[in-house]
Each structure stands twice: as structure tokens, then as C-alpha cells.
Amino acid sequence: MRTNIRYLILGLLNQQPMSGYDVKRFLESLSWLVGSPSFGSIYPTLRSLLQHDLVTMEAVLQEDKPPRKIYSITAKGAAALDAWVNKPLPSATSMKGFLMRLILAGSFSPARLTDQMKERRAQVATQWEALKQAVDTVQDPGQRLALEYGCEIASAELAWLDQTLGQIGQQLTVEDVGTIVTP
């Protein structure tokens, strides 16, 4: 699980300043997709980001409640995020890992986003082929089920990637050429 909560949180702070509690709430709403880290990892991560000057913190006092500590990304933090985002996808990226990057797409240039999706497409296509081959050679019924399931998910993912890449491609073309095409 090279998922590193660190950059996920940094990416959220890049979209807008927020507190640790806000981070939790937000990720909770996406928990099925990327899983929600516990407070026991969020707060220490924020402290670490602060110590490395990747974020700043401003305490907003409230009556009868602990102060909300609002974290904002710094220039150094934005640079670190940018560097991370522009690294190629690790060779065996999980769906969760890819989703994490997708959530941060707002921090990407459009070109980088499409690159990333193409990298992913290539990886999934390779795995799909491998799975299709494996299905025929496996005898155990459970393993077969698992492989078939994997095939199905892979092909759905490929379809989505192709469709979405197509849409983004069209949008970019419209901007570049400056023509509006009515559908």
C-alpha cells in the first residue's frame, strides 16, 4: 500500500485550506473508494507536514470548543505536491492508488492528467491480457471466479478510461482550435 496519506492530505489542502477534522469528514465521504485514515494518522501527518514547512497553520479560536486549526499549503508544499504528481505511476498501482491520484486531478495540468490516465490504461490492459490467459489454465473454481471477476473489473476500467480520455481529448481540441462543435 504505497498510498501515502501524506500527499492525499497535501492535495486536499491544495484545493482549499482546512482542518484535520475537515480532512477526515471529506475522506469519510469517499471511504469506499480510497478508505478513510483514522485521526490517529491524520493529526500526526499534519504535524509532520507543518514541521517540514509544507503547510502553515492558523488556529481559529472558538468559545467552549478546542480551536479549529486550519492548515494551508505553502509554496514549498505546492512544489512537493507538484513533484509527486509528475512522477510516473508506480509500476503496479492499485485501483485505490489510482483513485487517490484522480481525486487530486485538480492539482494536475490537463496534459499530466491525460498522461496519467494513459499510463493507467497501459497497465490495466496488460493485466487484463494476463488475466484472460490465466482463466483458461486454472482449474480451481474459486480461483477461476476471482480471475473472471478481475477480468470484468479490468475491462470496465478500460472502457471508462477510453471514454473519459475521449471526452477530455475533445475538450482540449475545442480549446486549442477555438471551434465549438454542436453534437
Task: Tell me which of 74, 114, 150, 165 binds a second copy, using CB under 8 A.
Answer: 150
Query: Contact between 66 and DNA (CB under 7 A)?
Result: yes
Other beta carbons within 10 angstroms of residue 24's beta carbon come to: 17
Site string for a second copy, 155-174 (x = CB under 8 A): xxx-xx---x----------
Task: Tell me which of 66, 140, 180, 182 binds a second copy, using CB under 8 A.
Answer: 140
User: CB–CB of 71/57 below 8 Å?
Assistant: yes
Q: Map 111-168 to HEC letters.
A: HHHHHHHHHHHHHHHHHHHHHHHHHHHCCCHHHHHHHHHHHHHHHHHHHHHHHHHHHH
Q: Which cell goes with 123?
A: 497497465
If contact means CB under 5 to 8 A according to the sort of partner, which of a second copy, DNA, none does residue 149 touch? a second copy
Nearer to DNA, 56 or 155 (CB): 56
Query: Contact between 43 and DNA (CB under 7 A)?
Result: yes
Task: Tell me which of 24, 35, 56, 135 binds a second copy, using CB under 8 A.
Answer: 35
